[in-house]
Chain A
Amino acid sequence: MHEMSLAEGVLQLVEDTARREGAKRVKLVVLEIGRLSSVQPEALTFCFDVVTRNSVAEGAALEIVDVPGAGWCMQCAATVPMAELYGSCPTCGSHQVQPTGGTEMRVREIEIE
């Protein structure tokens, strides 16, 4: 979904930080993308390369840290692994599982010089 917009969102945060830090260029961008976020890492990498052209982050490497899905099952009163958003609990099959991890789409850090 909308990886191009997300790549633009990443670039905005990177450019803001690079400007504030007086960076001449950005060498690496580290993202955290949860497995429940419905973001495709390959598509995001592709879009990142496109949107960073002629920017301070041109040519920067993109590292995507994969965050596994987890949820709180009301029935089990426990944190359970989740393979998909709105999925069911792998232990009891209940649909009352609140996602607690794996929905993130964050810029963690960048390497600049």
Chain B
Amino acid sequence: MSTEIQTFTEKYDLLGCIQCGRCTGGCPVTVRANLNVRQFVYDAYNEEKLDELARLAEIWDCTACHTCAVRCPKGLKPLEVLIGLRSMIVESGKVEPTVRDALQSVLLEGNPWEKSRAARSDWMEGLDVKIAEPGVEVENLFFVCCTIAYDPRVQAIAKNMVRLLNKAGIDYAFLPEEESCCGSEVFTLGEEGLFEMLVEDNTEYLNEYSAKRIVTLSPHCFTTYKTHYPDLKTPILHYTQLLVELLHEGKLTWKGDLQKRIVYHDPCYLGKQGDVYDEPRELLKSIPGVEVVEFDRSRERSLCCEGGGGKMWVESESKKERLADTRIKDAKDLQADIVAVACPFCVMTLEDSMKGLGFEEEMRVAEIMELLGEHIEA
């Protein structure tokens, strides 16, 4: 943690902005909300105006999709200006109760879901899981993620991974229940102090393990570790990268086939932020029978599902169509049977929309690990 006090302008390099407007031009939430991120970059230059800006409701509409950062010709991260404003509210303590409870839960229990730390590994029950020990060499050390650990809807991601690894005879181990939140949503909610603490604690904790690499199941953890943990000694992988590697080595084979039309939705945290685009597609295509189709807006241009940026705890005022609804309707137009994703948050937002739109009979939202799990040989 640097001790010198930076001004807002210095911290976010506001003077670098040329007001080209590419950030706002690409921002997906502008169709729903009154958010003009370019304007914020401009206004935040005036330190006296910061308090007023921080009180604007639309700073909570940003989903941290990073489209603005990807598009900015000057290499700025316009969204971080919004996060900086959020943090002013956090420091005052006057956040929404949902945000308050999530952040407090991270501090006390190491997860934002208000679950007991002692229950973090409950998903492992009945499975033959190898548990990592500090100092004991392991090739692939798995970091589960709070959401996958606690939410029964997406626990299959971890469970199937265990079955797959055991089957393929891979050298792996999962972190025990001491695993803590990576801080992805803590960062975007603007709780800077808590995030710094997590970075410090997690770096120290993870560095005690002797792994060749750390494999994350959620792209949120993946990107957060890659971009915000400079002192982590172990390289970070998303599971799709590991599995493609295993595929190339001939260690993965699938039983049966899946005669389905699948459209892959690029999670913002895996694609735009993690630069992982091809591996998920390759995995899907490896299942016999699968036909993979593409959204009109895919890869770098992928439409955000609005699951990130702390939006799990902040509801938009907007009554306009959710981006996830748009996404599902697009999938419907493509006559896709399955919308495949590689992120637990995308599962929730897209599945919710799919159900809300009443497409349950004819369409399915699935995490890639769920699909793969159905084709692991016994």
A, B in one complex:
no
